[in-house]
Structure 1
Amino acid sequence: MTLELAVTAFATLFVIIDPIGLAPLFVALTQGMSPRRRRFVALRASAVGFGLLVLFGLFGEAVLGVVGISMPAFRISGGLLLFLIAVEMLFEKRTHRREQAVEIKPDPSIFPLATPLIAGPGAMATIVLLMGQNSGDLPAQMMIFGVVLLVVLTALGLFMMGGLIERVLGQTGINVITRLLGMLLAALAVQFVLDGISDLGLFGMGG
């Protein structure tokens, strides 16, 4: 079960944060910067993004409780949100929207890299869902944070190699990988919705 949780958490967060898709955007945002400056931006963006996801993982469910949103309802809405993101990935809308929204700034580490590109709504919804599914299980929750760190470190590594990756994969390679990740995310999103329906006890699926 522990290994299954780790694999599920990694797969979900990986396709949501999409480090491979972010690499070309990082290159564009840091174009003209010295290698040292580019490394600083990569490190700062990754650290802030990770911190935001951890904070949301720790307190996100409590915030939901204050505003009266149940975990099953959030799980269903989160699954629907992830499914929309998957559809955008499959039809290239997500990358196009990201590129249009990105403005090149002197220091893009906080915005738009840390948020919303790393710690965006999809990633925040995912970590709340995963933490809620393992409420009270401290080892499992620590593992989730470890997986978050691993995914963010993967993004950091790809940021460091952004220029090389862009040259090796090319636009066609990036498009193919994005579509494959979109298909996987769609299946995971449907599972989130089914889990939420099951928790609500609808359609005879509840215990």
Structure 2
Amino acid sequence: MSFDTAVFLATFVTLFVIMDPPGVIPVYLSLVGRKTKEARNRAAWQAPAVSLLVITVFAVGGQAILSYLHIGIPALQGAGGLLLLLIALDLLRGRGAGGTDPHGDAEVNVALVPLGTPLMAGPGAIAAVIVAVAQADTGGTYLAIAAAILAIHTVLFLVLRFATTLIRILGEGGITLLARIAGLLLAAIAVQLVASSVMGFIDQYSAG
């Protein structure tokens, strides 16, 4: 069983482009910027851990899960888009920029939603992993896909862990501004996901 380097690189690059580690930074900072250092550091590893769990579950049994529930990728895109839109509206209205209680457990929630999923482990990443696993035909290929998934989540952790140093530079006003910008970006991502969902349903029914 030889490690398939080409598949590893292809899967890693695909997931890097879809999950966009640098693009997660403003959302992460806007959500945890006012929390304690310990809370920020917890969120930095919890979010990639949640994403890794979700991606792994769908890599192992994604096609079976979707088939059993009669759910298509367009439905996942629509659900993810609506969820992100709700988070974006909270950020734009100043109600989701890191929680009002810096010592509370809200950081666990933002690590789960929206950071872990659907921002990191979103419909695009899930679909890419399902397709990659479906095309795999050797043990080395499966190993390469698994290594790529671990590698991208290591990158996500490192990006979030060291992004906290920007908080001292930004300050309170910078975090507030970043929250509004992140809300706008999330809203745009949400609209794009919903639009892709609609187009996916149109293509699905027109092909049928």
Common fold: TM-score over 0.5: yes
Change (3 A) 1:63 1:11: closer
Range with greater deviation from structure 2 (168-177 or 122-131): 168-177
SS class of match (1:154): helix
For structure 2, which runs of at least 5 residues remain unmatched after alignment? 1-5, 137-141
Over residues 99-140 of structure 1, what are the superposed CA-to-partner deviations in whole Å (9 max), with x where a residue is unaligned?
A: 289352536486234323422345444343231121244334
Over residues 59-109 of structure 1, what are the superposed CA-to-partner deviations in whole Å (9 max), with x where a residue is unaligned?
A: 236377358125xx34111211233356557xx504148628935253648
Q: Is the 8 A contact 1:46 1:155 kept in 2?
A: yes
> Which residue pairs with 2:76 in the alignment?
78
Identity %: 11
> Which residue pairs with 2:89 in the alignment?
93
Q: Is the 8 A contact 2:31 2:97 kept in 1?
A: no
- 1:133 corresponds to which letter in structure 2? V
Q: Give the alignment partner of residue 20 of structure 1, picking from 6, 26, 49.
A: 26
Question: Matched residues in 1 for 2:16 and 2:175: separation?
Answer: 25
Question: Matched residues in 2 for 1:45 and 1:153: separation?
Answer: 12
For structure 1, which runs of at least 5 residues remain unmatched after alignment? 31-37
Range with greater deviation from structure 2 (164-173 or 138-147): 164-173
Question: Matched residues in 1 for 2:56 and 2:198: separation?
Answer: 22
Q: How far 1:194 moved relative to its partner?
A: 4.7
Aligned residues: 190
Change (3 A) 1:81 1:129: same
Return the TM-score normalized by structure 2: 0.64
Q: How far 1:47 moved relative to its partner?
A: 2.1
1:114 aligns with 2:111: yes
Q: Give the alignment partner of residue 206 of structure 2, picking from 175, 183, 203.
A: 203
1:50 aligns with 2:55: no
What is the 5 A alignment of 1:95-174?
95=91, 96=93, 99=96, 102-104=99-101, 106=103, 108=105, 111-126=108-123, 127-136=125-134, 137=136, 138=142, 139-166=144-171, 169=174, 171-172=176-177
Change (3 A) 1:103 1:69: farther
RMSD over aligned Cα, in angstroms? 4.1
> Which residue pairs with 1:9 in the alignment?
15
Question: Matched residues in 1 for 2:122 and 2:185: separation?
Answer: 21
- 1:202 corresponds to which letter in structure 2? Y
Q: How far 1:184 moved relative to its partner?
A: 5.1
SS class of match (1:99): coil
What is the 5 A alignment of 1:178-189?
178-180=183-185, 182-183=187-188, 186-187=191-192
Q: Is the 8 A contact 1:134 1:141 kept in 2?
A: no
Q: Is the 8 A contact 1:49 1:119 kept in 2?
A: yes
SS class of match (2:47): helix
